[in-house]
Structure 1
Amino acid sequence: MSYEFEFGDVLGAWDELLHGALNTLWLSALAMLIGLVVAILGAFGKTSGPRWLRVLIDAYIEVIRNTPFLIQIFVVFFGLPSLGIRLEADQAALLALVINVGAYATEIMRAGIESIGKGQIEAGKSLGLTPLQIFRYVVLKPAIQAIYPALTSQFILLMLNTSVCSAIAASELTAAANDIQSRTFRSFEVYFVVTVIYFALSLLFWGLFRVIERTLLRQPARR
C-alpha cells in the first residue's frame, strides 16, 4: 500500500497555522510571566510564611503535581461554571496553564532559595532589612541564577503543554492543526508540519531565555 505525500493543502492553510502559532506564543509567554509571579510568591510563602500558609501551598503543589494536566483544564473549563464562573476557552486555558506551571515552578524556586547561604541572610538581618527586603535584595536574584536552567526547561514544557488546550477548543496551534486535518484528511502532513513549528517555537524560547540569562542574570566578573 503506497501513500502519496501532499503538503499543498496543508501549506495552503499557512495563515491558520501562523495564527495558531502566534496564539501559542502569546498564551505561553503570558502564562510564563504570571506563573513566575505565582512561583515567587509561593516560594516566599513556603520559606518565610506562617505554618497555615505553608500547608496550603504544599496542598496546592501536591494536588497539581499528582493530577493530569488535561483533568485540570477540564476542571477549570467545565467545572467552574457549576460555581457560577464562566470562562472563554482561551481564558480557561491560560488559567489552567498558570495553575499548573505555578506549582512546579514554586518547588523549583524554593530549591533555589534554600541553596542561598545562611550567612547572606544573616547579613541582611544584621543590616536591619525586613524579611521581604531580604527576599527581594539578597535571596531572589541568586536563587533565580541557581535554578535558571531548570526553570526555563519547565517553561518550555509549559509551551508544549499548550497543545493539550486544544481539548477545550482554545485557539492555539494544535487546535488549528485539528481543523485543517478535519478538512484535508492529511493527518501525517498536518502533524508533521506542526511538529516542525513546535520545534521552532522551542528553539525561539531557548534563544530568548539565553539572551535573558546573558543580559540580566550574568554574574559580575571577579577581579
Structure 2
Amino acid sequence: MFSHGEERPPAVSGKPFLTMPLRTFVKIALFACTVLLLVAAAYTFTTSAEEPHAFRNATLDNLKESSREKSRSVRRYNRYARRAAEEHREDAARLFRAIALSDSIQQANLHRALVRLGGVPPIIFMEEEEESSGSTRENLHRSLAERHELVRKHYPRRIAAALSDGAHYAARILIWSEGGSTKQALMLDRIAEHPAEPSVYEVCPQCGNTFCQECHETYCPFCATHESFFLTADIP
C-alpha cells in the first residue's frame, strides 16, 4: 500500500456519469421525439393519400347546384302561386306558396352546409324569368315532374357523395330536401287533375318539411321541431 506521507491519487467517485434527474429528463426527451416522429409520419401518409379528395369537390359542387336550384324554385313557385290566385285556384295557390317557403328555408340550410365545409355560397343573380307561367293545371304538372326528377335522379347521387365524403351535416340537409320534395310531389299529384278544397299548409322553419291540414303532426319527423314553431303559408 502507501507509506506514510506518500501522496495518494485522488479518490474516484462511485456516482454514475448521469445523475438520476438527468437520466429521467433524457428518457422523457427521447420519448417525446419518438412520438413527434410517429405523428409526423402519420400526417404525411394521410395527407398524401387524401390529396385528390374528389368527393369533397363533388359535395361542394352539389351543394352549390342545389342552392341555385332552390333560388330559381322560390321565384318560380311564387309566380305559380300568383297565377293560381288569378285563376281562383286557391288550393293550388296555397300549395305553391308553401313549396316556395319550404325551398327558401332549405336554401338557407344549404348555405350553412357550404360554409361548414369551407366552401363559398354561390352568387345568385336575379335572372330573367325562365318561362312565362302557363295555366295552373300546366304548372301543377310541370311542378310534379320537377319534384319527381329531384327525388329520383339528383338527390340520391348528391346524398351518396356527401356520405362517402364524411360530410354528414351536408348529407342531412340534402336528405331533408329529398324527403320534403317527396311529400310535396304527393300533394301536387292530389290536386293536379281536379281542384280540391283549399288546405292549410304549414312549413317547418328548421328543415322545410311541408304539412297539409290532413297530415298535420305534433313534431316534425325530420328534425323534431314542435308544431308551435311551424309557419303558415299564406297566399301572396
Please give the TM-score of this superposition, normalised by the length of structure 2.
0.26
Please state which structure has a larger fraction of its residues in helix: 1
Please give the TM-score of this superposition, normalised by the length of structure 1.
0.27
Larger RCO (CA under 8 A, 6+ residues apart):
1
